[in-house]
Structure 1
Amino acid sequence: MWQSGHFREAVTAAARKVNVETQNKLDRKDVSERRLFQQAFSQDAPKAGQPRLRLMEDDGSDTYRSVHRGAAAFAEGFFAAIRNPNSHADGLPDLPQHEALEQLAALSVLARWVTAAAVVTVWGRRSAQASRSRVSRAASRAVRPTPIRVAEAGPVQSP
Structure 2
Amino acid sequence: MNIDWCITELSAYIELADKYESKAFTARGDYVGDRALKPLADELREREPIIQRILNAVQPGLGKQQLIRRGAYGLYTSKGRDAAKYALGYLKRRAEVEANLRSPAPRMSADRLHPWVWQAARTLWETKHYREAVQAASTSLNAHLQELTGRRDVFDSDLITQCFSASDPEPGKPRLRWPGEPTDAEYKAMQSGLRALGQGAFMTIRNRATHDLEELGEHEALERLATLSLLCRWIERCSLVSAPVPEDHRTSAAQALGA
Which residue of structure 1 aligns with residue 218 of structure 2? 97
Per-residue deviation, 1:123: 2.4
Q: Greater CA radius of gyration, 1 or 2?
A: 2
Q: Does the CA-based 8 Å contact 1:78-1:107 persist in structure 2?
A: yes
Per-residue deviation, 1:74: 0.3
Q: Does the CA-based 8 Å contact 1:43-1:65 persist in structure 2?
A: no
**Structure 1: how far apart are the matches of 2:241 and 2:185?**
20
Which ranges in structure 2 are unaligned for 5 or more consecutive residues? 1-123, 246-259
Which residue of structure 2 aligns with residue 150 of structure 1? none
TM-score with structure 1 length normalisation?
A: 0.73
Cα deviation, 1:56-92, whole Å, max 9, x if unaligned, reads 1333122211111110100111111111011012x41
Question: Which structure exhibits the higher relative contact order, with contacts defined as CA atoms closer than 8 Å and separated by 6 or more residues?
Answer: 1
Which residue of structure 1 aligns with residue 127 of structure 2? 4
Q: Which portions of structure 1, spanning 4 or more consecutive aligned residues, are displaced by more than 4 angstroms?
A: none
Which residue of structure 1 aligns with residue 165 of structure 2? 42
Per-residue deviation, 1:23: 0.5
1:14 matched to 2:14? The reply is no
> What is the aligned counterpart of 2:147 among 2, 13, 24?
24
Letter in 1 for 2:158: R
Which residue of structure 2 aligns with residue 56 of structure 1? 179
Which residue of structure 2 aligns with residue 68 of structure 1? 191
Letter in 1 for 2:152: K
- Identical-pair percentage: 38
3-state SS, counterpart of residue 2 of structure 1: helix
TM-score with structure 2 length normalisation?
A: 0.45
Q: Does the CA-based 8 Å contact 1:39-1:52 persist in structure 2?
A: yes
Letter in 1 for 2:236: T
CA RMSD of aligned residues (A): 1.3
Q: How many residues get paired? A: 122
Which ranges in structure 1 are unaligned for 5 or more consecutive residues? 125-159
